[in-house]
Structure 1
Amino acid sequence: MAKMLYRLGFWSAKNRIKVILGTIAVMLISSIVAMSMGPKLNEETTIPGLESIQTMGRMYQEFPSMIGQGKETQLVMKAKDNETLSSEANKQLISAELKEVAMDPEVSSVVSPYDNQSLNADGTIGYATITYRPGVEVTDVSKEYVLEAAEGLRNAGLQAEVTGNGYVSMEIGGATEGIGVLIALVVLTFAFGSFLTGIIPILTAVIGLGTGVMLIIMGSNFLETPSFALSLASMIGLAVGIDYALFIISRYRQQLAQGFERREAIAIANGTAGSAVVFAGVTVIIGLAGMSVVGIPFLTAMGLAAALCILVAVLIAIITVPAVLSAMGGLIKAKRAKRSERSVTHLKKKNRGDKWGRLVTARPWLTVLLGTALLATLSVPFMHMETGTMDDGLKSTTMTERRAYDLMSEAYGIGYHNPLMILAKTDGSPEAEANLAKTVEQLKTYPNIGTVTPAVTGASGNVSLINVIPATGHADIETVDLVKTIRSHTAEIAQQNHVELSVTGSTAINIDISQKLNEALPEFCLIIVGLAFVLLVMVFRSILVPIKAVLGFVLSLGATLGFITYVVQDGHFQNLFGFSGESLVLNFLPIMVVGILFGLAMDYEVFLVSRMREDFKKNGDAKKSVLAGIRHSGGVVTAAGLIMISVFAGFMMTTDPSIKVMSFALLFGVLFDAFIVRLLIVPGVMTLLGKSAWYLPKWLDRLLPNLDVEGEEVMKEVEKKHHQATQSATEFYEAIQ
C-alpha cells in the first residue's frame, strides 16, 4: 500500500492543476445534484419489532384519526397577572392573531385554545394548534406568520411562546462550528509556524466535508437518515479532515528538511504518513460502519453517513493535499531544525532537550499509575449511568421552545410532555365494560401516576385507549419505573379482569429503544475491541503493543462515559459546559462513542507507536525508540488532539441538547485518549516493556500480511531510485572522461 501511495503522491504533485480542479468539480457537481434532489432527513429513532411500536401500529388501526396529517406548531399563551385567557378582550386579541396565521397558504387548520380544550384549570394558560398541509416542509416564511402572531400577543401583555415539530427542528450545522475552526487555525499556525501553511488543512477539510455532506443528502433519498446523522458526520468529517492533512504536511516538511526535492518529499510523505492516514481512516470507518451490526436502522444510517465523510476525508488527504503542496511550491518551508539538532553533539543534546519524553520515560511506573488511576476514577460514575432521550426541557431558557415547554409544565404538569398510551383489549363479555373501569381504577393506584383519562373505545369495539400522565418528567427514573410497574402487572390484570394491556407512546418507545441499545452495547464493544487487536497485531507485528493499545482504549472509553454521566446525568459543572439541566444520557451515545473513539484512538496509536517501531528497527534500542516516537510524532498528535477538541468545542455551542452532548462526549473522549493514554500512559508502558514490546512468534509473523504503515518499502524504493541516479551520473561522468 505504501508504494502505491508513494506513486499516487508523485502523480498528484505532477498533475496538481488537474487534481485541484477535479476536486472542486466533484464538490460542485455533488452540490448541484444534492440540491436538486433535496434532503430527506427525518427525526425518527425507532427500532422495528419492539412491542411498544407494534402496539402503536394497532392503536392507529383502532384510532386512525390519531395519525398525524401534517406538521404542527403550538402557540402557547399565558394571560397577564390576575387575568385569564377566557376574558373577552383576550379572546378577541387571540382570535385576531390566529386569523393572520391562517392566511399562510401552507396552513391547513388553526384551532384556538377555546376549541381544543387546552385551557388549564384556572384558565391562565392554553395553546393554539397550527397544522400544515400533509407533506409540506415548514418554511421560514411560514414560521414567520406564527412568530409575528406571538410578538403581537406579547405587545398586548401576554406571554406567547412557540414550539412543535412545525417550528423546532434538529440543527445540522451553524455559525458555532466556525469558532472551532478558527481555534484549529490558530493551533495549526502555531504548529507549522506559518499562517499560510496552517490554512491548507482547513481548506482541504472544508472541501472534503462539503463533498461528504452533499453525498449524504443524496443518500438520504434512498436510505432513511436521521437529521442528527448530518451533524455527527460534519463534526467527525471536519475534525479528521484537518488532522489527516496535518499528518501529511508535517511529514512533507520533515522530508524537505532532510534535503529531498519537493515532489520527492511529497511522494514520500504520501507513502509514509499517507499510509498511516489510510489505516487510521479505515479503522474509523470500520468503527462507524460497525454500528450496523447492532441491527438498529437509525444507528446504521448514522454510522454509514459519518463513515462516508471519513472516506472522503481520506481521499482528499492522499490525492488533493499532495497536489496543493506541489502548487504552493516554495511558499511552504521545510521544518526548521532546532539549534540542538544542528549541533555536533546532535543526539546527546536532542535527548536532553526532549523534556516530555525524558519525563515520562524516567519514571514510567509513576506515569502509568497516575494516568491509570485518573482514568479509572473518572470511570466510576459510569456504573450508575441511565440512558434515555432529550427534549426541549434541556434547551436554554433564552429559546422560545424551552419557555413553551415550561409553560405547558406549569399548566398541565411535567408529565404532560411524556404521556403513556395504554391499549386495553377486552374479551367482549357482558362484564367487559365493568372490567375495563376496574382496570382504570387499578392503574390510578400505581406510584408516580399523575392523571388517568377515562378509556375511549376504538373502531372494533373491544379495544380501548387509556392515557396516563406520569407525575414526573421523561428524564426521571420514576417515569421508567412506572412503565415497568404497569408491564409487570399486565399478566395479573389479564387473569383477574380479562383485560390485556399494552403500553405505547413516545415515552414507552424511547424506554424500549434505550433498553435495546444497552443490551447491544457489550456485544458491540467486544466486536470493536477484538477487531482493534487483530488490526494492531498486523500493523505493529507485536502481541503486547496491541494489548496495551486495547486496554488504553478501554480506559479512555470508561473515563469518557463516566465523565458524561457525572456532568449530564448527575448535574455537576452544568453551567461551565452550557447544559441547562440534569438529564438521562442520550440512549445511542454510548454506542456512538465506542464506534468513533475506537477509530480516533487508533489514529493516535498508529501515528505515535509506528514512529517508535520505525526507530526501533533501525537502532534496536527500545527506550531511544520511545523518545524518538515522542520527538517526531508527539507534537503532531498534540496538535491533532487540540484540533479535534477545538472542532468539537465549536459544535458544543449549539442550542440543540442532543448535538451538544454528542460533541461534549467526543471532546472529552479525545482529551482523555490523546493526552492521557497516548502521550502519558503509552510511553510509560512502552518503556517498561522494553524490547519485549516488539515480540511476535515467527510462525505468526509469517502468516500475517505486511501492511507497511511505516513506509519501509517506500524508503527502499527511494534509495533504489537514488542509487540508480547516482550510478547513471557516475557512468556518464566516466564516459565523458
Structure 2
Amino acid sequence: MASLLYRLGRMSFRQRRYFVLLWVAVLAACSFAALSAPTAEEDGFSIPGTESQKAFDLLDERFPGDNAEGADARIVFAAPDGQKVTARENRAAVEKVVDTIARGSQVEDASPPFAPNAVSEDATTAFATVTYSVSSDELSEATSAALMDAVEDGRAAGLTVEVGGSVVDGGPELGGVTELIGIAVAALVLFITFRAMVAAGLPLITALIGLGAGVCVIVAAGMSTTTITLALMLGLAVGIDYALFIVSRYRAERAGGHAPEEAAGRAVGTAGSAVVFAGATVVIALAGLSVAGVPMLTDMGLAAAGTVVIAVLVALTLLPALVGFFPQAVLPRAQRRTATAPSTAPSAVPAPAPGKESGPESRKKPGKESGKEPAGSRWARFVVRRPLATLLLSVAGLGAVAVPALDLQLTLPGDEAQPTSTTQRRAYDALAEGFGPGFNGPLTIVVDTRGADDAKAAVAQARTALTATDGVVDVSPATFNEAGDTAIISAVPSTGPSASATKDLVRTIRSEATDLKATSGASMWVTGQTAMNIDVSNKVTAALVPYLTVVVGLAVLLLMLVFRSVLVPLKAALGFLLSVAAAFGVIVAVFQWGWLADLFGVAQTGPVMSMMPIFLIGVVFGLAMDYEVFLVTRIREAHVHGESPTQAVVTGFRHSARVVVAAAVIMIAVFAGFIGMADSMIKMLGLGLAAAVLFDAFVVRMTIVPAALALLGHAAWRLPGWLDRLLPDLDVEGERLTRALATEHPAPAAASSREESVNA
C-alpha cells in the first residue's frame, strides 16, 4: 500500500493542475446534484421489530388516512396570575387567536380551545390543537408568520401564549459562533505548529473542500438533514488532522534533503498509509452503527462515514497537488531561504520525523535552541523513568472520572430538553403545570379485536384494566375504525415522558395484554411517541454490548496487522475503554447530575440521549486508533532499528508527540464548538467527543501507552510465529517502501552528511 500511495503522491504533485481541476469539477458536480435534488422527506421515526412500530403500522392499515404526516401545532394559553382562562375577556382573546389561525391557507383543522379535557381543572390553562395539510418543512412563510402574529395578538391581550408541536421544530443546527471559534482555534494551533501561513492554511482549505463535497453528497442522496450534524463534526475534524499529518511529514522529508516531488511522494506513502488505516477504522466504526437496527442511526453513521472517505481522498490527492503550487511556502521561514531542490529522482535519505523540523535550522550557532531536547521526548523520559506510578495514577484518575457513568440512564427526551428560551419548552412546562407531567406524553393503546368474539366487550375490558393500572391518571373513550375491528384508547401517565416510572408503566400495560388475549382473544399494543422513545432506548441499549464487542475485537485485529504484536493491541483496546468510560462519566455528571450545567448551557438535566453511547463508542474508537497508529508506529520503527524498548519510546515521542498534540487540540476545539448549540443532542455529542479526545490523546496515548510499553519491554513487540505467518503485512510505516528506494537509489553522500548534521 505504501508503494502505491508513494506513486499517487508523486503523480498528484507532478500533475497538480489536473488534480485541482478534478476536485473543482467534483465539488461543482456535487453542488449541482445537491441543488437539483428534491427536498428530503421529513424524518420518519421508524424502529422495525419493536411493539410500538408494529402498533403504528397496524394503525396505518386499519385507520387509512388518519395518520397523515401533516404538521401540527399545540397552542397553549395561560391566564394572568389570579385569573382564569375561562373568564369572559380571556375566553374571547383565546377564541380570537384560534379563529385567526384556523383561517390560514394550509390549515386542515383546529380543535375548539374550550373542548372537554382542553381546560385544566383550576381553569388557568387551556390548549387548542391545529393540524396542517402539509408537513412542517412544506409550510409557507406566510402560514408560519400568520401563526406567530396570532400568538403575539394573544400575548398583547394579556395572556401567556406558547406553541408546541412539529410546526416549531426547527431543522438541525449546522453551525454557530462557537463552531467558528473552534475553527479559529484550529487555525491558531496549525500556525503555532507549522510557523508558516501556507502550511497552516492548507489543512483548513482541504478540510472545508472535503466537507463541502461530503455535505452535498448527503443532500443529493436524499438523506434527511438530521444526518448532516455528525458528518460536519467528523468531516471537519478528521479532514484537518489527516492533512496535518501529511503536511508535517512533507516538511520533515524536505528537511531530510529530498526534492519537493520526492518529499510529497514519501509523505503520502508513509503518513498517507496511516491516514488510510485511520480513516478505515473510523468508517468501519460508523458503518457498524447499523447494528442497532434504528434507521435514523444507520443513516447518520453512513453519512458521516461517507464524509470521512472523502476527507481521506482529499488528503491523499488534493493536498499534495496544492503543496505542489507552494513547495517552499509550506516550509519554516529559515528553511525556506536555504532549501534547495537537488534532484527529482528518489533518494534514500531517511527523513526525520514530523515535529523535528530540522535541516538548515539545526546548523545554527550552538546555543540553547540547537541543543534543547523536544518537549515530547522530555515527557517520555519522565514517564519511562516512573512507569508503574504513572500508569497507576493515570488509570485511577480516569476511573474516578468514569464513576458517574455507573448511574447512566438513557432515554429520548422531547421538548422538556429544549432550552427554556424556546416557546416549545415553555408550552411543555405550561401543560405539565396545568394538566400534570404525563399530559405531554400520552400512551396510545391499540386494541385489535379481530380475534375476539365480542369486540366492544373486549375493548371495554381493556379500558377497565387501564383505568385500574397504577400510574394511569386518565383513560379516554375508545375510538373504533370503520370496520369496527380495531380501537384506539389514550392513556395519560402520572409521570413525564422521560421518567423511569413511565417506562415501568409501559411494561406493566404490555404485560396486561397477555391477560386480555387469554380472556377475550383481543390483542393490545402500546405505541405513541413516548412508547416509541422507550423502545428506541431499549433497542439501542441492547445493541451496546454487541457493538462494543465488535468494535474492540476489530481494534485488536487491526492493530495486530499494523504493529505485529499481541500485547500492544490489547493495551490499546483497554485504553480505548478507559477513554469511553471517562467520557460517559463527564456526560452523566453534566447532563444527568447537573454539575457545571450552567457553564455548558444545559437547560434541563435528566436521562442521557439513548443514542449517545453508541455514537460516542463508534466515533471515539476511530479517533483513538488514529492517535495510536500515528504515535506507536514511530515507537515501533525505532525499536525495529535496534533501540531498547524505553529508548524507542523516547525516540518515537520526539518524532511524533508534537503533531499528535496539535491534532488532538484541533479535534477538541472543533468538537467543543458544538457545545454552544441549542440542540441538546448536539451539545451532548460535542462535549462527549471533546472530553473523549482529551482523555484518549493526553492521558491514554501520551501517558498510559509509554508507561505500559516501558513496563512490557521487549514482550510488547512479540508475535507468535504462526500468527505472524497468518496475518498479512500492511506495511503501514512504509518500511518496505524505504528499503526499496534505498536499493534502487543509493543515498548521495552530500545528502547523507546533511542528514547526519540534521540528527546531530
Same fold (TM over 0.5): yes
Whether 2:241 is the aligned partner of 1:218: answer no
**Secondary structure, counterpart of 2:119 in structure 1:** coil
Judging changes above 3 Å, is the alpha-carbon distance between structure 1 residues 200 and 139 closer, same or farther for their aligned structure 2 residues?
farther
* Structure 2 residue corresponding to 1:281, chosen from 279, 284, 294: 279
Judging changes above 3 Å, is the alpha-carbon distance between structure 1 residues 661 and 116 closer, same or farther for their aligned structure 2 residues?
farther
Give yes or no for contact 2:376–2:653 (8 Å, CA) kept in 1: no
Give yes or no for contact 1:424–1:499 (8 Å, CA) kept in 2: yes
Task: Name the structure 2 match of 1:54.
Answer: 54
Task: Name the structure 2 match of 1:671.
Answer: 694
Describe the superposition over 1:643-701 as per-residue Cα deviations: whole angstroms up to 9, x where unpaired.
Answer: 11111111121111121122222122212211111111001001111122111123322
Which deviates more from structure 2 when the two are superposed, residues 142-151 or residues 520-529?
142-151
Task: Name the structure 1 match of 2:42.
Answer: 42
Task: Give distance in 2, aligned partners of 1:646 and 1:45.
Answer: 32
Give yes or no for contact 1:44–1:226 (8 Å, CA) kept in 2: no
Listed as ranges, the matches of 1:682-721 within 5 Å are 682-720=705-743
Judging changes above 3 Å, is the alpha-carbon distance between structure 1 residues 38 and 234 closer, same or farther for their aligned structure 2 residues?
farther
Task: Give distance in 1, aligned partners of 2:75 and 2:308.
Answer: 41
Which deviates more from structure 2 when the two are superposed, residues 70-79 or residues 428-437?
428-437
**Secondary structure, counterpart of 2:373 in structure 1:** helix
Judging changes above 3 Å, is the alpha-carbon distance between structure 1 residues 226 and 569 closer, same or farther for their aligned structure 2 residues?
farther
Judging changes above 3 Å, is the alpha-carbon distance between structure 1 residues 455 and 19 closer, same or farther for their aligned structure 2 residues?
same
Task: Name the structure 1 match of 2:23.
Answer: 23
Task: Name the structure 2 match of 1:158.
Answer: 159
* Structure 2 residue corresponding to 1:564, chosen from 587, 592, 605: 587
Task: Give distance in 2, aligned partners of 1:571 and 1:637.
Answer: 32
**Secondary structure, counterpart of 1:188 in structure 2:** helix
Task: Name the structure 1 match of 2:396.
Answer: 373
Task: Name the structure 1 match of 2:758.
Answer: none
Task: Name the structure 2 match of 1:297.
Answer: 295
Task: Name the structure 2 match of 1:318.
Answer: 316
Q: Normalising by structure 2, what TM-score?
A: 0.89
Measured after TM superposition, the shift of residue 263 of structure 1 is 1.9
Task: Name the structure 1 match of 2:263.
Answer: 265
Listed as ranges, the matches of 1:389-400 within 5 Å are 389-400=412-423
Which deviates more from structure 2 when the two are superposed, residues 317-326 or residues 419-428?
419-428
Task: Give distance in 2, aligned partners of 1:253 and 1:430.
Answer: 82
Q: Normalising by structure 1, what TM-score?
A: 0.91
Judging changes above 3 Å, is the alpha-carbon distance between structure 1 residues 489 and 111 closer, same or farther for their aligned structure 2 residues?
closer
Judging changes above 3 Å, is the alpha-carbon distance between structure 1 residues 293 and 427 closer, same or farther for their aligned structure 2 residues?
closer
Whether 2:239 is the aligned partner of 1:241: answer yes
Task: Give distance in 2, aligned partners of 1:456 and 1:353.
Answer: 71
Judging changes above 3 Å, is the alpha-carbon distance between structure 1 residues 486 and 201 closer, same or farther for their aligned structure 2 residues?
same
Alpha-carbon RMSD: 2.8
Measured after TM superposition, the shift of residue 400 of structure 1 is 1.7
Task: Name the structure 2 match of 1:403.
Answer: 426
Which AA in structure 1 matches 2:270?
T
Task: Name the structure 2 match of 1:149.
Answer: 150
Task: Give distance in 2, aligned partners of 1:348 and 1:726.
Answer: 25
**Secondary structure, counterpart of 1:76 in structure 2:** strand
Task: Name the structure 2 match of 1:546.
Answer: 569
Task: Name the structure 1 match of 2:681.
Answer: 658
Which AA in structure 2 matches 1:287?
A
Measured after TM superposition, the shift of residue 243 of structure 1 is 0.7
Task: Name the structure 2 match of 1:524.
Answer: 547
Listed as ranges, the matches of 1:607-618 within 5 Å are 607-618=630-641
Which AA in structure 1 matches 2:415?
D
Whether 2:677 is the aligned partner of 1:644: answer no
Task: Give distance in 2, aligned partners of 1:110 and 1:32.
Answer: 41
Task: Give distance in 2, aligned partners of 1:478 and 1:129.
Answer: 27
Task: Give distance in 1, aligned partners of 2:375 and 2:120.
Answer: 75
Judging changes above 3 Å, is the alpha-carbon distance between structure 1 residues 16 and 104 closer, same or farther for their aligned structure 2 residues?
farther
**Secondary structure, counterpart of 1:396 in structure 2:** coil
Task: Give distance in 2, aligned partners of 1:499 and 1:622.
Answer: 71
Judging changes above 3 Å, is the alpha-carbon distance between structure 1 residues 121 and 663 closer, same or farther for their aligned structure 2 residues?
same
Whether 2:262 is the aligned partner of 1:229: answer no
Task: Name the structure 2 match of 1:630.
Answer: 653
**Secondary structure, counterpart of 1:576 in structure 2:** coil
Which AA in structure 2 matches 1:256?
R
Task: Give distance in 2, aligned partners of 1:360 and 1:140.
Answer: 62
Judging changes above 3 Å, is the alpha-carbon distance between structure 1 residues 179 and 491 closer, same or farther for their aligned structure 2 residues?
same
Which deviates more from structure 2 when the two are superposed, residues 450-459 or residues 500-509?
450-459
Give yes or no for contact 1:394–1:580 (8 Å, CA) kept in 2: yes
Listed as ranges, the matches of 1:314-393 within 5 Å are 314-334=312-332, 336-337=357-358, 350=373, 354-393=377-416
Which deviates more from structure 2 when the two are superposed, residues 92-101 or residues 31-40?
92-101
Give yes or no for contact 1:340–1:349 (8 Å, CA) kept in 2: no
Measured after TM superposition, the shift of residue 247 of structure 1 is 0.8
Measured after TM superposition, the shift of residue 345 of structure 1 is 12
Which AA in structure 1 matches 2:206?
T
Give yes or no for contact 1:364–1:685 (8 Å, CA) kept in 2: yes
Which AA in structure 2 matches 1:518?
T
Judging changes above 3 Å, is the alpha-carbon distance between structure 1 residues 105 and 263 closer, same or farther for their aligned structure 2 residues?
farther
Task: Name the structure 1 match of 2:168.
Answer: 167
Measured after TM superposition, the shift of residue 80 of structure 1 is 2.5
Measured after TM superposition, the shift of residue 550 of structure 1 is 1.2
Whether 2:438 is the aligned partner of 1:420: answer no
Listed as ranges, the matches of 1:36-115 within 5 Å are 36-40=36-40, 42-64=42-64, 66-98=66-98, 101=101, 104-114=104-114
Measured after TM superposition, the shift of residue 119 of structure 1 is 3.1
Task: Name the structure 2 match of 1:470.
Answer: 493
Give yes or no for contact 1:204–1:321 (8 Å, CA) kept in 2: yes
Judging changes above 3 Å, is the alpha-carbon distance between structure 1 residues 417 and 145 closer, same or farther for their aligned structure 2 residues?
same
Task: Name the structure 2 match of 1:730.
Answer: none
Task: Give distance in 2, aligned partners of 1:430 and 1:300.
Answer: 43
Judging changes above 3 Å, is the alpha-carbon distance between structure 1 residues 27 and 283 closer, same or farther for their aligned structure 2 residues?
same
Which deviates more from structure 2 when the two are superposed, residues 34-43 or residues 197-206?
34-43
Task: Name the structure 2 match of 1:201.
Answer: 203
Judging changes above 3 Å, is the alpha-carbon distance between structure 1 residues 687 and 331 closer, same or farther for their aligned structure 2 residues?
same
* Structure 1 residue corresponding to 2:185, chosen from 168, 183, 186: 183
Measured after TM superposition, the shift of residue 344 of structure 1 is 10
Task: Give distance in 2, aligned partners of 1:259 and 1:427.
Answer: 83
Could you tell me which runs of 5 or more consecutive residues in structure 2 were left unpaired when the two chains were aligned: 333-355, 751-760
Judging changes above 3 Å, is the alpha-carbon distance between structure 1 residues 399 and 106 closer, same or farther for their aligned structure 2 residues?
same
Task: Give distance in 1, aligned partners of 2:692 and 2:44.
Answer: 27
**Secondary structure, counterpart of 2:477 in structure 1:** coil
**How many residues in Structure 1 have an aligned counterpart in Structure 2?**
723
Give yes or no for contact 1:45–1:226 (8 Å, CA) kept in 2: no
Measured after TM superposition, the shift of residue 102 of structure 1 is 5.2
Could you tell me which runs of 5 or more consecutive residues in structure 1 were left unpaired when the two chains were aligned: 728-737
Describe the superposition over 1:7-36 as per-residue Cα deviations: whole angstroms up to 9, x where unpaired.
Answer: 111111112222223212211221111111
